[in-house]
Chains A and B, each alone.
Chain A
Amino acid sequence: MSASTTHNPGHRRTWLQIAIYGAVCLTIFLVPTILDNDFLLNKYSRYLVFGILAIALSLSWGYCGILNLGQAASFGLGCYCMAMALKLRTVPVHTGDDGLPDFMVWNNVTELPWFWVPFHSLPFALFAGIAVPTVLAALVGWFMFRARITGVYVAIITLASLVVVNLLIIDQQRYTGGFNGITDLAQLELFGLTFDAYSRNSYYLVASVLAACLFAALAITKSKTGLILQAIRDHEDRVRYFGYDVAHYKIFAFSASAAIAGIAGMLYTIVMEFASPTFLDVPLSLSVVIWCAVGGRQSLLGAALGAIVVTGTQGALSDSGIFLQSWTLLMGMIFVASVLFLPKGLAGLAELAGERLRRLGRDTPPPVKTDVLGPVREGEGLA
């Protein structure tokens, strides 16, 4: 009998992963204890929200090979659901007669539209912020994956869906605030706590949700369903002949990813104190792909850290006087370099370092053949 009955390396790896994920989450939680600056905490909360968004894409792209370029649509719908609820809770001085949102008054809307009415209830808004993006993704996914659309066509369809949602929101100014978005929001009050954007409460809220999403996504990837998603990424057709309905699995990954993106969107509204069509535009959607590529799309934590590092660097560069003009160029170079030299992103680098350390620890060096196909397969994923 092989030795693996006594110690299964797969399980050891899982526990190590849980420990590392936990340690990172703990570090994130400890930031406010050493940093007493509400402005910076707000900025960091924003980066963490992007981290959640990257986890969402890692789940669909990294684990199931679905390159979703419309991730910002799910994110933005979450943003707007939260903004609608918070708008209706604004103190009357900011809204028109009978609690009608101010921009509706300016647009000569006299009555609250039917789809705004349920947002008086906060629980409904929280539900909608997850359900609306999930149902939309399931619908788009149903059409795409039943028809066995793959690869670059998925990227095109998702990107097009994003543009449609974006245009719809900009066009329906009477109901959505159009270009201006929804501003002048109340602060979220939940469980007797007030979540001021510039406060520890909000930071802890975002950090907790990040941890929850990270571990929930990890649980999915460690389940048999997660294994089948990876098998689909690897060789979709082969999976069918074992009796799995590939479309079901893809719709699941696509929708679960949208749910997480919707949650991130709701948090973003809380942190930014407004919702805007720029929260669901193409540049943001493409940025998520870059974060995942830099951090390592096949690692949930890698993707999250990729988002935090890239947006953090972006923030720092654009703030500094020297790089005021050239920071986008610099970011582009970092992206190109990471795609060329780190096909598995920062997570791949960490894994390589871990492997080296382990080999130094033991004196038996098993010649682990590095996957020479790595960069090529990466290219296939994009195509």
Chain B
Amino acid sequence: MLLEYFQMIDTVTGVDREAQSLSARAAVPDESPVFEGHFPGHPLMPGVLLIETMAQASGFLVLALNGFERMPFLAGVKEGKLRTFVEPGAVLDIEATLEHDGSGFAVTRAKIESADQAICNANLTFRTMPFPKPDFAVMIRERAREIGLEDERV
């Protein structure tokens, strides 16, 4: 994870196209400028970044399922529950499942565990739309490749 660059996913560990789910892994860094403010002398992974982590796993799932044709943008967070604190160095197991593939939107369920302990979960809504510009699509595909996600169509 590079928190300050919003790179929340280290590795996609699996995509189950039949179950429409994706699993991923990420290690919270031991040090980050984020921890200098959150909180001084008591570093904790910000809850909003845990939500972002679930959103990115969900986003890569939606991209994998739509063949990288449309970009999912986070539009709604429901039933978000942050169950316990996450400290620097924690390894996160993230799972996202497609709940509904609508016309111009998608809904996922996502959760994070660490050492088999439930960390957080949420239901997320995305607007899906054409990439705003070609460079954007290239950048997203490149990032997907970096984390081990193939961009094959289902």
A and B from one complex = no
Q: Which B residues are closer than 8 A to A by beta carbons?
A: none
Q: Which A residues are closer than 8 A to B by beta carbons?
A: none
